[in-house]
Structure 1
Amino acid sequence: MNITSKCRLNNGYEMPYFGLGVYKAAPGKETIEAVSYALEVGYRLIDTAAVYGNEKEVGIAVAESGIPREEIFITTKLWNDDHGYDSALKAFDESLKRLQLDYVDLYLIHWPVPGLRKESWKALEKIYADGKCKAIGVSNYMIKHLEEMKEYAEIIPAVNQVEFSPFLYQKELLEYCRSNKIEVEAYSPLARMKKKDNPVVNSIAKKYNKTHAQILIRWCLEHKLIVIPKSSNKKRIKENADVFDFELSKEDMQMLDSLNENFRVSWDPSEIE
């Protein structure tokens, strides 16, 4: 596995396992520089969202990179206020306009908004059918939300992007997605460094001469998760990508798996009916 390694989604389209998240990257110079540098050091997956307010800057960085468009995988997301069939179609077109792109690679429903999930998914199916995105999926969907989708979805989501780390090892959800041919994408894989003093992670990091963050990212990759650590810092962007020259032993993986404590740094979607 290397920085450009890809998984094959359930529709045959390929998506890199490793990428850059731009959540909370400030619109303007910060986002442009972070994305530009990430592309420069080999990242090929960039994950943004309408609510982040930085789609325009992601588009600028992609355009200025000189890298052929088809080599870069762009994800964006439908925000909660834009749910509903017509609203979702309009919101997607606005995202595309801000990104200055002809298509996005992956469009996700950001959160499972009650009452409007069916209409929103139908809009995504239309966007996909029209060729404006290469794959569609969801984010923060728990098993109950995915089960509900079976009642109305003509297309199975290609991806479910959820918070995932050794401290939030959602094994049951992962196994469910795998058995339903849905790739799991991990956001906040570093738990926003709120567990940076964890002795297990830090002893493993010492053993491999890696950082705390690198061990958490590698853990995701070993579980065949798509992973999108967020950073605007050049040193950390490069460091986060330096995870392809080692493998964690089976014993170390088991130790990391055992750290689960359902620790979340984001909202808990299991509370959403």
Structure 2
Amino acid sequence: MPSIPNATSARIDIPKLGLGTWKLSGAEGQAAVESAIGLGYRHIDTADRYGNEAEVGAGIAASGIARGDIFLTSKVWWENLAPDAIERSLAGSLKKLGTDYLDLFLVHWPRPDMDLPAIVKTMQKAQDTGLVRRWGVSNFPLGLMQKVEELGGQPAALQVEYHALLSQKRLLDFCRPRGIALTAYSPLGQGALADQPVLAEIGRKHGFSGLQVALAWLLRQEMVVAIPKASRRETQQGNLDALALLDRLDAADIAAIDAMPKDWRRVNPDFSPDWDA
């Protein structure tokens, strides 16, 4: 099996394939983390809102892999974006995860009335003091990313929904030249991409599933990271196996995937920002 490549820039060095842990909790959540690390995953993504940081931390501890060999991400919820609330959230995450630092700390969602300058200052302070190695944001549209930059912020990563049926070209065009990693959550459309004939046909051509094709399409892109959720060992292994497709997808395959509709958003809660802003 090919090793997991990294997305690397002056701002970040992050494994391109990670384990998403949304809805993985309790004993199942811990077991999923242990299983993934045992298979070779070294990038684990969680959040305060997921309510599973204790289980994620326990899974990392039980894996026997040194903390320094794991890239660990967590996030602060949009209701806790005052500076003192961010600091409390980070302290709570570190305690539950059983670690003294995060590799990446993200603002989980923006909110209309947030004090963006104060947020940028607080996130940078967390990095300067060593509590986080890097900071970034999640679910920020292009306009907000530009505002962060205008404030002098240097986020290392932007996490957004991204898959074969949802374009993020505007954000990629912003992130790539700045060395910002774009992390795709729901990279398989929460499993719904399995029903796409174009992906299935390409998969049959190469001896893989349509979902593996969709994942490989993302992972072969410069500075794109994917964090599919996978509780079962077989699914985790299947996602790893998709790495073998990175060099097999040909120009016709890529063109066919690129030609698929790109406006199908799966995650759009009522507190979402204006995605086109």
The TM-score bracket by the shorter chain reads: over 0.9
Between the aligned partners of 2:88 and 2:183, the Cα distance in structure 1 is 26
2:219 corresponds to which residue? Answer: 221
Whether the 8 Å CA contact 1:9–1:15 is kept in 2: the answer is no
Whether the 8 Å CA contact 2:142–2:171 is kept in 1: the answer is yes
Q: Structure 1 residue 78: deviation in Å?
A: 0.7
Classify 1:47/1:69 alpha carbon distance in 2 versus 1 (closer, same or farther; 3 Å): same
1:249 corresponds to which residue? Answer: 250
Which stretch shows the higher mean deviation, 64-73 or 177-186? 177-186
Deviations 1:109-157 (A, max 9, x none): 111122223322221111000011111111111110111112323x311
Aligned counterpart for 1:271 among listed residues 245, 266, 274: 274
Letter of the structure 1 residue corresponding to residue 143 of structure 2: K
SS at match of 2:14: strand
SS at match of 2:254: helix
Letter of the structure 2 residue corresponding to residue 108 of structure 1: L
1:37 corresponds to which residue? Answer: 35
1:8 corresponds to which residue? Answer: 8
Deviations 1:129-187 (A, max 9, x none): 0011111111111110111112323x311100110011002112111111232111111
1:161 corresponds to which residue? Answer: 159
1:51 corresponds to which residue? Answer: 49
Deviations 1:6-64 (A, max 9, x none): 122433x4211111000111x21011010000000000000000000001101001111
Query: RMSD of the TM alignment (CA)?
Result: 1.6
Unaligned runs of 5+ in 2: none
Between the aligned partners of 1:163 and 1:260, the Cα distance in structure 2 is 15
Q: Structure 1 residue 196: deviation in Å?
A: 2.1
2:145 corresponds to which residue? Answer: 146
Q: Structure 1 residue 232: deviation in Å?
A: 0.8
2:260 corresponds to which residue? Answer: 259
Q: 1:1-273 counterparts in 2 under 5 A?
A: 2-11=2-11, 13-25=12-24, 27-116=25-114, 117-153=116-152, 155-224=153-222, 225-246=224-245, 247-267=248-268, 269-271=272-274
Deviations 1:74-109 (A, max 9, x none): 000010111111110111011101101011100011
Between the aligned partners of 1:252 and 1:270, the Cα distance in structure 2 is 33
Between the aligned partners of 1:4 and 1:190, the Cα distance in structure 2 is 18
Q: Structure 1 residue 270: deviation in Å?
A: 4.8
Letter of the structure 1 residue corresponding to residue 66 of structure 2: P
Between the aligned partners of 2:9 and 2:100, the Cα distance in structure 1 is 21
Between the aligned partners of 1:85 and 1:2, the Cα distance in structure 2 is 42
Between the aligned partners of 2:244 and 2:22, the Cα distance in structure 1 is 27
Equivalenced residues, count: 270
SS at match of 1:169: coil
TM-score by length of 1: 0.94
Letter of the structure 1 residue corresponding to residue 266 of structure 2: V
TM-score by length of 2: 0.93
Classify 1:24/1:82 alpha carbon distance in 2 versus 1 (closer, same or farther; 3 Å): same
Between the aligned partners of 2:260 and 2:170, the Cα distance in structure 1 is 15
Which stretch shows the higher mean deviation, 58-67 or 2-11? 2-11
Which stretch shows the higher mean deviation, 207-216 or 32-41? 207-216
Whether the 8 Å CA contact 2:160–2:184 is kept in 1: the answer is yes
Report percent identity of matched pairs.
34
Unaligned runs of 5+ in 1: none
SS at match of 1:76: strand
Classify 1:213/1:88 alpha carbon distance in 2 versus 1 (closer, same or farther; 3 Å): same
Between the aligned partners of 1:10 and 1:183, the Cα distance in structure 2 is 11
Letter of the structure 1 residue corresponding to residue 218 of structure 2: C
Between the aligned partners of 1:148 and 1:179, the Cα distance in structure 2 is 17
